[in-house]
Amino acid sequence: MKKTKCRCEFCGKEMGGRIQGIQKHIKNNHKIEAEKIPNLYMYSAKILYPITNTIMSKIVKKYKTGESINKLSSIFNLPYNVVKNILDYCNVEIRNTSSAAKQEIVRERYKKTVNERYGVENVSQASEIQNKKRETFKRNYGVDNIFKTEGFYNNWWNKMSEKEKEEICRKKTAGLGCKSTLEKKIQIALNTIGVEYTSQFYLKKKRYDFKIGNIIIETNGDYWHASPKKYKKDDIIKYPNNVFKKASDVWKKDIKKKRLAEKNGYTVVYIWEDELNKMTEQETIEWTLKTLKSNQ
């Protein structure tokens, strides 16, 4: 509980119920004592609010696990500025508010996107709608549903033989689906974040998936790019139209492509099919944000 009034410990005068008032009183009337107080704000706050060491360490702990100052302010029933000063007093680095705000905006946009698409706030709420769509997509295109769940994808796509996958990729629409399912996930993330980007960016006849400033994001299908997690270097992979390639040759080609981009001043970041498929839409957005931030 906050005190509405208090008395000065030096002169016994009433100092009111505001932190600033106490600070002012001490500074103006007790200069010598004020110099001995290491943090006048905290000294004043502690007079008005029940701030114990236990409470301070709880605040620090919770803040470090990601709780916001606003949330802590309501949990501990302390003003925003008091919480902020406690963190500062305990030498905790305050998270950049603009990046925190940006995360908040992204979450809001994400909610809006999902809401517009499904009329629900959360993708998982849309599972019934998904089930129906899933069946249709499976029948018509195979892979072309960006909202499919991890379970669905793994059970259906991963259980298919390379030959069956190939068969699907051969069909024109599905062929696009195969490649673009991954791209679409990133594209949705980029759209949600609202950053400017070029998709299908060309550099000397080489096609890159996304260019955002000087960052290039490549979405790598496990089969098309011979994921090192799934293929050994000497494995021969059969591609459509009777093309056979050694896994290590596929890798070499990708390295060459990466070098070309780097020579032209770009940073290339890869996201593999298996990683991307484990991510929810929101996680994809967060991955994209993190990637853009750390490569700026």
**Residue with Cβ nearer Zn ion (32 or 243):** 32
**Residue with Cβ nearer Zn ion (29 or 127):** 29
| H or E, element range at 87 | helix 80-89
Residues 23-42 that bind Zn ion (CB under 5 A): 29
Question: How far is residue 248's CA from residue 108's CA, in Å, rounded to a whole number?
Answer: 43
Read out DSSP for 104-134?
HHHHHHHHHHHHHHHSSSSGGGGHHHHHHHH
168 in contact with Zn ion (CB under 5 A): no
**Residue with Cβ nearer Zn ion (16 or 79):** 16
Closest separation in Å from C-beta 29 to Zn ion: 5
Binding span for Zn ion by CB under 5 A among 11-19, 32-40, 144-152, 227-235: 11-19
Look up tokens 């494995």; give the residue: 235
Report the residue from 11, 75, 101, 105 that binds Zn ion according to the rule CB under 5 A. 11
Long-range contacts (CB closer than 8 Å, 24 or more residues apart) made by 1-4 = 1/50, 2/48, 2/49, 3/47, 3/48, 3/49
Long-range contacts (CB closer than 8 Å, 24 or more residues apart) made by 57-63 = 57/90, 59/83, 59/86, 59/87, 59/90, 60/86, 60/87, 60/90, 60/92, 63/87, 63/92
Closest separation in Å from C-beta 51 to Zn ion: 21
Binding span for Zn ion by CB under 5 A among 3-11, 83-91, 212-220, 231-239: 3-11
Closest separation in Å from C-beta 21 to Zn ion: 11
Look up tokens 């096609």; give the residue: 207
Measured CA to CA in angstroms, residue 14 lies from 1, 7, 11, 46 at distances of 19, 4, 9, 16
**Residue with Cβ nearer Zn ion (24 or 230):** 24
Question: How far is residue 132's CA from residue 54's CA, in Å, rounded to a whole number?
Answer: 53
**Residue with Cβ nearer Zn ion (10 or 202):** 10
State which residue has the least CB distance to Zn ion: 8
Closest separation in Å from C-beta 25 to Zn ion: 6
Residues 203-222 that bind Zn ion (CB under 5 A): none
DSSP state of 14: B
Instruction: Give yes or no for a contact between 268 and 216, defined as CB atoms under 8 angstroms apart.
Output: yes
80 in contact with Zn ion (CB under 5 A): no
Binding span for Zn ion by CB under 5 A among 21-29, 72-80, 138-146, 202-210: 21-29
Question: How far is residue 111's CA from residue 27's CA, in Å, rounded to a whole number?
Answer: 49
Closest separation in Å from C-beta 13 to Zn ion: 5
**Residue with Cβ nearer Zn ion (15 or 56):** 15
How many chain residues interact with Zn ion (CB under 5 A)?
5
Report the residue from 6, 8, 129, 146 that binds Zn ion according to the rule CB under 5 A. 8
10 in contact with Zn ion (CB under 5 A): yes
Which residues contact Zn ion (rule: CB under 5 A)? Answer: 8, 10-11, 13, 29
